[in-house]
Amino acid sequence: MDLKKKTSQLLIGSFLVYALLVATHLGEFWPFSVYPMFSQAGRPWNRSLVRDVDANMISSDDLWKEVKLGDLPGEPVPMVPLGISQNDMANMVSKTKVWDSDRVLGLRKLFDKYLDEKIFLVFKAHGEKVDNEEEPVSVKFTPFILLSADTTIFNPNLDIQFK
């Protein structure tokens, strides 16, 4: 077979497979992708952040209060030294629609080694554009779930679905 024919068949054939797979899998079938990251500009976003809080916080009235960055309680818990991917944390917290025991165990497993000594409060962070020249983006932090050695408590003020 001549080189041009063989090359054409391989390129066009592989491209058709590429197109078919990304078209039927929301633009992603690794390593094929249409690279849609950052395509939806200006929309509100949800991320997460973890704080190390002390035991007194658990009984505090302010435990589940929505706060701004400067008012976050406790100490920061950086994910890098824990070997946890920030993106995994943020997506697990923001994309889980129904929390069942497997999902809770999955979240706890990420922090397994540290919960004997620490109490972690996981916050959902929500950002959106606001009409304010000084601060054009509003970022609010809502306590979502508290994890300790023997306890998992969800924010009772949120509408969370459980199974």
Partner 1 sequence: MAFLQNVRLPQWLYSNLFDYEAEETKGDFYAFKFFELVVLVYVIQFAWDWGFYIQKISDVVLPLGMANYIDVSFMFHHNISLVNAAIMVVAGLVGFFRLNKYGYAVCLVSFHLHYISRYCLGEISHGSNLVGMAVLLLALAQWSFGNTKNMRVFALGMTYFYFGFGYTSAGICKLIATGYTWVDGSNLWMWIYERSVDVTSKQGFFEPNLLQEWALSSHLFATLTLLFGILAELTAFLIWFKKTRTFSVLILLGMHIGISISMNIMFMENIIIMFSVMYPWGRIIDRFLPSQAMGTHK
Q: Which parts of this chain interact with partner 1 (CB under 8 A)?
A: 3-14, 18, 25, 27-43, 45, 47-50, 69, 76-80, 83, 85-92, 94-96, 102-103, 105-106, 109-110, 125, 127, 129, 136-137, 139
CA atoms within 13 A on the CB side of 139: 14
Residues 52 and 78: beta-carbon distance below 8 Å = no
DSSP state of 150: S
How far apart are CB 58 and partner 1 at their closest, in Å?
22
Quote the least distance from Cβ 59 to partner 1, whole Å: 26
- Here the tokens at position 62 are 């302010």
Q: Which residues have C-beta within 8 Å of that of residue 126, sequence separation ≥ 6?
A: 44, 45, 46, 139, 140, 141, 142
Smaller CB separation from partner 1, 43 or 156: 43
> Given the complex with partner 1, which of 19 and 149 has the nearer CB atom?
19
Contact 111, 147 (CB under 8 A): yes
Cβ distance to partner 1 smaller for residue 65 or 140: 140
Beta carbon of residue 118, minimum distance to partner 1 (angstroms, whole number): 14
Cβ 4 to partner 1 shortest distance, Å:
6
